[in-house]
Structure 1
Amino acid sequence: MSGKVLNRVFIARLAGTAVFDPNGDPVGKVRDAVATLRTNNQAPRILGLVVEVPLRRRVFVPITRVTSIESGAVVITGLVNMRRFDTRTGEILVLGELLDRSITMVENNESVVVEDMGMEQNRTGDWLITRVHIMRKGRGLRRKGATSTVMWEEVTGFAFPEQNQGVANLLSTLGNLRAADLAAVIQDLAPKRRAEVARALDDERLADVMQEMDEAERVQLLAELEGERAADVLEEMDPDDAADLLREVGEERAQQLIELMEPEDAEDVLRLMTYEDYSAGGMMTTEPIIMTADYSVADALAAVRRSEMSPALASQVFICRQPLETPTGRYI
């Protein structure tokens, strides 16, 4: 960790940076920054960083504990409070809430979109958001306009809520996250922002994320999706997870979604829904990995290593005689 110490940092580029203690031992990774807006369009003050530590727990590290921000590393000192991070009144997540926001140039009232935000340390040691990287609207056939970095005082509009806020730049900072990590990020967003991100994800990616979320959170997220989209996402989920989710949304809503699903997918889910929660039948899957005795160990390893295979399914391979379609066949 002998990189150059930085006094101005663009926060979207900071996302995913490793965090170390003074001894060089890894602590976690930066996921966001917490700030507070100030009156009279003054530069917001950075309060701290949201750091993801092992077991996907997101904790708050005060900016006063950050001793240096280097290229590729953040160094902190002191003990880390392992209590799960929750935003308080007056606090905002810089990446989660301000990226992709439509704001206005003070000089000419031109509408622009936020692509990144730069924080800078002043002489007193405080970190302030002093720069905003913006994109202007494209002209003619160009979908993207020119980009530039302006001072915070040159733009306005952050204090006003925005409906249908974009998510392109936010998703670019989250694109490499595994489903479980992305689920942890989404759960910490405000409900409005959470729904906007969900609508922007493709069906398969959203299904993977929802399978990793807490039960109450994914029920709430499913309620934000329109009927056809919700049914498409359920079709991409593992049947046992889809059945668990439909049990929680209410009988009327569940029936509506099942009718919108493809018959083959709906049949598997309905079969599982006949069992009680947490019973053997209710926890089983209709899509186990099944092979005959003719397959090799290499074939089995290749099957469980497929990227779309969940850890729960990959943990077991069933060796059966023909026929291999469940629930027929006899286990060897």
Structure 2
Amino acid sequence: MSAGTRVYVARLAGTAVFDPNGDQVGRVRDVVVLLRPQGAPRAVGLVVEVAARRRVFLPLTRVTSVDAGQVISTGLLNMRRFEQRPHETLAVGELLERTVTLRDGTGDATVEDLSIAQTRTGDWFVDKLFVRHRVAHKGPLGIRRRGDSRVVDVGDVTGLAGGGPGQAASLLLAAYDELKAADLADVLHDMGDRRRLEVATALDNERLADVLEELPEDDQVEILQSLETDRAADVLEAMQPDDAADLLGELPDDQAAALLELMEPDEAKDVRRLLAYEDDTAGGLMTTEPVVLGPETPIALALAHVRRKDVPPALASMVFVTRSPVETPTGRFLGVVHIQRMLREPPHQAIGSILDPDVDPVPPHASLARVTRVLATYNMLAVPVVDAEKRLLGAVSVDDVLDHLLPEDWRETDDFEDDSEDDSGDDSGDDSEDRAAAGGRRG
């Protein structure tokens, strides 16, 4: 790599990473920098997302090219999961939108991008900041304009190391806009407490609800308790009722009761019903919002319902057929119709004519073990839950069962770690030496 290479990190995020053979091994998600008391911050490596949403560390000493929207590494990646160390800072996650003060006396500015440049010795440093003045001004027509933007040397500002007011998060969220909720949850979980709350607060209610459903319980509670009470209630309304009930069950009783009072009555009613059941029963596991239709519904309309974006994949695998009313608790439960069967029949045919007669529902007090056996016996992704009058109360999906069968900290552990050396084929060993050496050197 030639000396003098400069890369802007906001543009680098999402760039494909290739090995010397031209095979893509991942995508850049962030740049690891060391903020120093004296001198420019040193960039030491890239956070690269590889298979199974794993984030690993790629030292910049093993990057041979950053060119034309791609990063070329010298060899196979060390697949040990990246864990941020106390002295390390993530450029995209923690420096973008940080408030700094310009040394020329023109006031405060917000960092919108920063560049890392390679010196002749092969080291990388943060050298330029693209900043925007925080104070807006009025133009000649009286229209309020955004603050002026410009590129400054990193030495021309103070406050890059933080410690001031909280950061905004719009630029960071734009960089991660394409991520699925589970992937964004991983990003938030790896952030520091303060930055996690800043980013979570910047999400809209629907997106935050989706992300909360994928986070460990302690992160869920921390974020929800950091929100204003009215907004916390809105986010709970946007969550799946079973996930909202699980989260409320982790809160103090008085706080949970206050949030339930602020929720829309229909939404709160479903959550209250779920809170009445033990956690490890069908009633405690179920969602009250499966796809429920009457027997006279044409197949074409039923397929339109399961295609809705808000229907989880497991619940989209079948339609639950009941007498009116079709909102839980429904009229008498008649049976289920599998999506594969619907695809094989004429679209005008009524779903009541193709019910699966072999699927037996479970009562709300059924144990987790019984629900698991039913799912396995019938090879289903969801099982109906009915009361003594055969009214449909909800459905337990396989993902909810897995959440309870796996260890409580399964979202925070990674069994892939055990065989990472065999899978990666990398003989480079731990990245500790690379990072320690970079941290100890002086420019």
**Is the TM-score greater than 0.5?**
yes
Corresponding position: 1:127 with 2:124: yes
* Structure 1, 70-79 or 133-142: larger mean CA deviation: 70-79
Q: Secondary structure at the match of 2:56?
A: strand
Question: Among 12, 15, 33, which residue is 1:14 paired with?
Answer: 12
Distance change in 2, residues 1:177/1:81 (3 Å): same
Task: Output aligned runs, 1:1-332, within 5 Å.
Answer: 7-40=5-38, 42-136=39-133, 137-140=135-138, 141-329=143-331, 330-332=333-335
Higher alpha-carbon deviation: 288-297 or 207-216: 288-297
- Flag structure 1 segments of 5+ consecutive residues without an equivalent: none
Does the 8 A contact of 2:98 with 2:110 survive in 1?
A: yes
Residue by residue, what CA displacement relative to the aligned partner does 1:172-228 show, whole Å, maximum 9, x if unpaired? 212232222221111121111111112221111110111111222112211211211
Q: SS state of the match for residue 145, structure 1?
A: coil
Seen in structure 2, the aligned counterparts of structure 1 residues 77 and 304 have a Cα distance that, compared at 3 Å, is farther
TM-score (norm 1): 0.92
Q: Which runs of 5+ in 2 are unaligned?
A: 336-443
**Distance in 2 between the 1:240 and 1:102 partners?**
40
Distance in 1, matches of 2:296 and 2:24, equals 46
Give how far 1:125 is off.
1.1
Q: 1:144 to 1:281 in 2, by over 3 A?
A: same
Give me the whole-angstrom Cα distance separating, in 1, the residues matched to 2:49 and 2:244. Answer: 28
- In structure 2, give the amino acid aligned to 1:222: L
The percent identity for this pair of structures is 53
Higher-Rg structure is: 2
Deviation at 1:275, TM superposition (A): 1.4
Shift of 1:109: 4.7
Q: Residues 278 and 63 from structure 1, CA distance in 2 versus in 1: closer, same or farther, beyond 3 angstroms?
A: farther
For the Cα contact (< 8 Å) 2:34–2:87, is it kept in 1?
A: yes
The one-letter amino acid of 1:123's match is: R
Provide the C-alpha distance between the structure 2 equivalents of 1:8 and 1:294, rounded to a whole number of angstroms. 65
The separation in 1 between residues aligned to 2:68 and 2:35, in whole angstroms, is 27
Contact 2:4 2:118 in 1 (8 A): no
1:179 alignment partner AA: A
Partner AA of 1:118 in structure 2 = S
* DSSP-derived class of the 2:148 partner: strand
State the secondary structure of the residue aligned to 1:318.
strand
Counterpart-to-counterpart distance in 1, 2:268 and 2:177? 30
In structure 1, distance between residues paired with 2:73 and 2:125: 18
C-alpha separation between the residues in 2 aligned to 1:177 and 1:143?
A: 31
2:79 aligns to what SS in structure 1? coil
For normalisation by structure 2, the TM-score amounts to 0.70
The ranges of structure 1 where at least 4 consecutive aligned residues each deviate by more than 3 angstroms after the TM superposition are: 292-302, 319-323
Q: Aligned partners of 1:300, 1:73: CA distance in 2, in Å?
A: 44
**CA distance 1:99–1:285, change in 2 (3 Å):** same
Q: Which amino acid aligns with 2:92?
A: L
Aligned-partner SS, 1:326? coil
* Aligned CA-pair RMSD: 2.1
Give aligned pairs, total. 328
